[in-house]
């Protein structure tokens, strides 16, 4: 995929007063719903449907109400992904990517009530792995995704940050705090990611609590050019485990932390 230096998920202010006015209005229209603390982007389910990745979906109705939800992303034809559950009921949709017309990796709307997760499976003929992913929240409003559960990175187990950016070369930085003591200076690692999905392994070794943020730097994010950049919301999660996919623990963006 050809990368663009201009379209990196940020709204830039340039080109005189006319450009300033137009870009300011555009920025407010795009991000205004997410600039209020109670208007987080809706939760989404990650679905994979490729030659090596497949997905099964599990939906559970609440204990006090039935649940109706249509997962389909198909442009036409009858939906094969409608869930109608009685109170307390549950239902699997196997190979939900094919059923919902998803090609590659895509986020689909999670039900507004009840519970839903996806089980993502990898099989390339040589190795297999699978893990459960709850509904994903998003980075937005310049707020970090805080992962307070300790994550371990060593020669066998890794810390992996997975993001689904809307624009090429979207910048991120990860702040790692040694889980043994808050007196240790934090470590900052930076990376860029492009659609549809990217996964980066943290280079540092140790036990950390971490946060993931949009932008280029925790100290100078609002100084100089680009000044106080505004980014489109980005969904994602942090996982901890072996590269083979064994013993994976997943913490999603927007997840309530203990």
Q: pLDDT by residue (tens digit) across 167-212?
A: 999 999 999 999 988 778 899 999 999 999 999 999 999 999 999 9
* Whether residue 25 is found in the same domain as residue 93: no
Cis amide prior to 196 (ω within 30 degrees): yes
Per the DSSP assignment, residues forming a β-bridge with 190 are 173
* 2, part of any domain: no
> Cβ of 9: how many Cβ atoms within 10 Å?
22
Task: For residue 208, give Cα distances in angstroms to 14, 87, 175.
Answer: 40, 41, 9
* Whether residue 231 is found in the same domain as residue 172: yes
Tokens of 33: 């719903």
Task: For residue 149, give Cα distances in angstroms to 144, 153, 217, 248.
Answer: 15, 13, 23, 13
The percent of residues in the chain predicted with pLDDT above 90, rounded, is 60
Q: Which of 133, 165, 183 is the last residue of a domain?
A: 133
* 234, part of any domain: yes
Q: What is the DSSP string of 109-161?
A: EPPSSSEEEEEEEEE-SS-EEEEEEPPB-EEBTTB-EEEEEEEEESSSEEEEE
Checking if the pLDDT of 27 tops 80, the result is: no
Checking if the pLDDT of 57 tops 80, the result is: yes
Mean pLDDT (the chain, rounded): 82
Label residue 12 by pLDDT band (50, 70, 90): very low
* Whether residue 247 is found in the same domain as residue 209: yes
Question: Could you read off the pLDDT of 130-179 as tens digits, one per residue?
Answer: 889 999 999 987 789 999 889 999 988 999 999 999 999 999 999 999 99
Position of tokens 């970090």? Answer: 144
Q: Is the dihedral of CA 35, 39, 40, 46 positive or negative?
A: negative
Q: Is the dihedral of CA 240, 49, 8, 15 positive or negative?
A: negative
* Whether residue 89 is found in the same domain as residue 158: no
* Whether residue 182 is found in the same domain as residue 212: yes
* Whether residue 190 is found in the same domain as residue 205: yes
3-class DSSP assignment, residue 195: coil
Nearest partner of 111 among 93, 98, 131, judged by Cα: 93
CATH number at residue 244: 2.60.290.11
* 4, part of any domain: no
* 5, part of any domain: no
Q: What's the domain count of the chain? A: 2
Q: Which of 111, 133, 155 is the last residue of a domain?
A: 133
* 8, part of any domain: no
Checking if the pLDDT of 26 tops 60, the result is: no
* Whether residue 67 is found in the same domain as residue 163: no
48-57, 65-74, 187-196, 236-245: which has the minimum mean pLDDT?
236-245
| Residue-number span of the structural domain to which 116 is assigned | 44-133
Q: Which of 99, 114, 133 is the last residue of a domain?
A: 133
Checking if the pLDDT of 34 tops 80, the result is: no
* 98, part of any domain: yes
* Whether residue 247 is found in the same domain as residue 128: no
Checking if the pLDDT of 93 tops 70, the result is: yes
pTM: predicted TM-score of the whole model, two decimal places: 0.78
Q: What is the pLDDT of residue 243?
A: 73
The percent of residues in the chain predicted with pLDDT above 70, rounded, is 78
* Whether residue 32 is found in the same domain as residue 121: no
DSSP secondary structure code for residue 231 in this structure: B
* 258, part of any domain: no
Task: Cite the beta strand spans of the chain per DSSP E.
Answer: 44-49, 53-60, 67-70, 82-85, 90-93, 104-109, 115-123, 128-133, 138-139, 145-153, 157-164, 170-178, 187-193, 198-201, 206-214, 234-242, 249-252
CA gap 105, 233 in Å, rounded: 17
**For residue 21, is it left (φ>0), alpha (ψ between -120 and 50) or beta?**
alpha
* Whether residue 238 is found in the same domain as residue 156: yes
* Whether residue 128 is found in the same domain as residue 232: no
* Whether residue 76 is found in the same domain as residue 191: no
Nearest partner of 206 among 182, 178, 181, 183, judged by Cα: 178
């Amino acid at each position: 995929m050809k990368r663009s230096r201009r379209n990196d998920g940020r709204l830039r202010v340039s080109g005189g007063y006319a450009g300033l006015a137009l870009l300011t209005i555009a920025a407010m229209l795009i991000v205004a719903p997410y600039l209020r603390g109670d208007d987080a982007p809706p939760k989404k389910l990650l679905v994979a449907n490729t030659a090596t990745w497949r997905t099964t979906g599990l939906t559970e109705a609440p204990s006090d109400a039935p649940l109706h939800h249509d997962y389909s992303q198909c442009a036409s034809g009858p939906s094969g992904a409608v869930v109608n559950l009685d109170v307390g009921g549950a239902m699997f949709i196997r190979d939900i990517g094919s059923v919902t017309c998803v090609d590659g990796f895509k986020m689909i709307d999670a039900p507004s009530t009840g519970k839903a997760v996806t089980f993502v499976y990898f099989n390339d003929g040589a190795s297999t792995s699978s893990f459960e992913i709850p509904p994903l929240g998003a980075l937005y409003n310049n707020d970090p995704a805080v992962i307070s559960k300790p994550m371990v990175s060593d020669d066998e187990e890794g810390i992996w940050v997975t993001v689904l950016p809307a624009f090429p070369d979207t910048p991120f930085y990860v702040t790692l705090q040694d889980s043994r003591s808050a007196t240790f200076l934090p470590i900052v690692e930076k990376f860029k990611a492009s659609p549809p999905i990217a996964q980066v392994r943290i280079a540092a070794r140790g036990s950390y609590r971490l946060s993931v943020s949009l932008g280029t730097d925790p100290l100078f994010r609002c100084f100089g050019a680009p000044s106080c950049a505004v980014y489109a919301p980005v969904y994602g999660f942090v996982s901890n485990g072996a590269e083979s996919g064994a013993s994976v623990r997943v913490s999603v963006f927007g997840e309530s932390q203990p």
